[in-house]
Structure 1
Amino acid sequence: MFGTIDVFKFLISFFLIFPIATIIHLSGHIFFVTLFGGSEKKMIIGCGNKLFAFWKIEIRKFYFWNGACEFKMLKYDNRFTNMLIYIGGALFNLISMIVVNRLTQIGIFKESVFTSQFIYFSFYVLFFSLFPMSFQNGSPSDGKAAVLAFKKQHDDKITDDIQIKIKDGEASD
């Protein structure tokens, strides 16, 4: 059954664990953008109006919902590097799931609703980022963009959570 304590656990999971899974996902994209010489990188956590920014991270009003990465250009720009950038977020989610699961198995982390919710939300982010589909605005999921990059059919490098800066302060959607 679903009781009062379950509502509390859900709220903690949704407003704390889900954003952590999203940050890990975006970190995967940023890692590969950095590895391949990307310039003017920025991570955007959430959507809505900007609340504040620090370093190269911008926090938006609805921090718990979605996010994006921005960069201007790549030093190493080919279909292989682009594919790694697209799947980098899902790869980081997968690695974090394996690490948390293993640390729980060996007793470093206590098995709890929070570790299971972390794995659940990480899998959720991983699955829907790799699911090959186009979103309502026409941008492809990371998985579809990776396939299109492999086929040399995706030149604009834009997905639901990756944006290319055109000029200062402006990103293409």
Structure 2
Amino acid sequence: MFTFSDLWIFFVSLLVILPLISAIHQAGHSFFIWIFGGKSTFTIGGGKKLFNLGPMEIRRVFFWHSFCQIEDLNIDNRWSHLLILLGGSLFNIASILLVNGLILADVVSGHIVFYNFVYFSIYYVFFALFPARYSDEHPSDAMAIYDLFKNGKEADPID
């Protein structure tokens, strides 16, 4: 049962864990962009810009939405774009395996914070791999993959 004593974990999950998961996801896209010789910038959140941290822009509503922009790939074909689009989910899955491995090895405890990290990471991967259009400019990763192979369109920005 959810009580007032659980509010702290809700706020930690919303304001720390979810943006972290989002940053991990976008880092996955950025990693594969880098592998294929490109540059990327990514935005965490919506609303007015708060600050930049390297290639990452943090916006005021930092727990809401994120996306990645591709700049000039050296290897620019359907297969490179496929790996770039899957990169976010691959990084999220790797982080799930890492956290679960650390818990199994008794390096960290099975605290609710880690449970929420894994839970929200699975949620994030599900919606990235669910073919949907969040807006005209922001398809899910799976929808961008569909567009890539059906219509030959490369997605930019990547959610």
The answer for the alignment partner of 2:84 in structure 1 is 85
**Is 1:119 paired with 2:118?**
yes
RMSD over equivalenced CA pairs, Å: 1.5
Q: What is the deviation of 1:30?
A: 0.2
In 2, Cα distance between equivalents of 1:157 and 1:136 = 12
The answer for the alignment partner of 1:164 in structure 2 is none
The answer for the alignment partner of 1:165 in structure 2 is none
Q: What is the deviation of 1:67?
A: 1.3
In 2, Cα distance between equivalents of 1:15 and 1:136 = 24
**Is 1:65 paired with 2:31?**
no
In 2, Cα distance between equivalents of 1:154 and 1:140 = 15
- In the alignment, is the contact (CA less than 8 A) between 1:145 and 1:159 conserved in 2? no
Q: Which runs of 5+ in 1 are unaligned?
A: 162-173
The answer for the alignment partner of 1:166 in structure 2 is none
The answer for the alignment partner of 2:37 in structure 1 is 37
Q: What is the deviation of 1:116?
A: 0.3
The answer for the alignment partner of 1:133 in structure 2 is 132
Q: Which runs of 4+ in 1 moved over 3 A?
A: none
Q: What is the deviation of 1:56?
A: 1.6
Q: What is the deviation of 1:54?
A: 2.8
- Structure having the larger proportion of residues in helix: 2
In 2, Cα distance between equivalents of 1:80 and 1:6 = 45
TM (normalized to structure 1)? Answer: 0.86
C-alpha change, 1:138 and 1:72, in structure 2 (3 Å) is: closer
Q: Helix, strand or coil: the match of 1:98? A: helix
Q: What is the deviation of 1:124?
A: 1.0
Q: What is the deviation of 1:107?
A: 0.3
The answer for the alignment partner of 2:45 in structure 1 is 46
C-alpha change, 1:65 and 1:87, in structure 2 (3 Å) is: same
Q: Give the share of equivalent positions with the same residue, in percent.
A: 37
- In the alignment, is the contact (CA less than 8 A) between 2:70 and 2:156 conserved in 1? no
For these two proteins, the number of residue pairs brought into alignment is 159
Q: What is the deviation of 1:99?
A: 0.8
In 2, Cα distance between equivalents of 1:159 and 1:105 = 37
Q: Which runs of 5+ in 2 are unaligned?
A: none
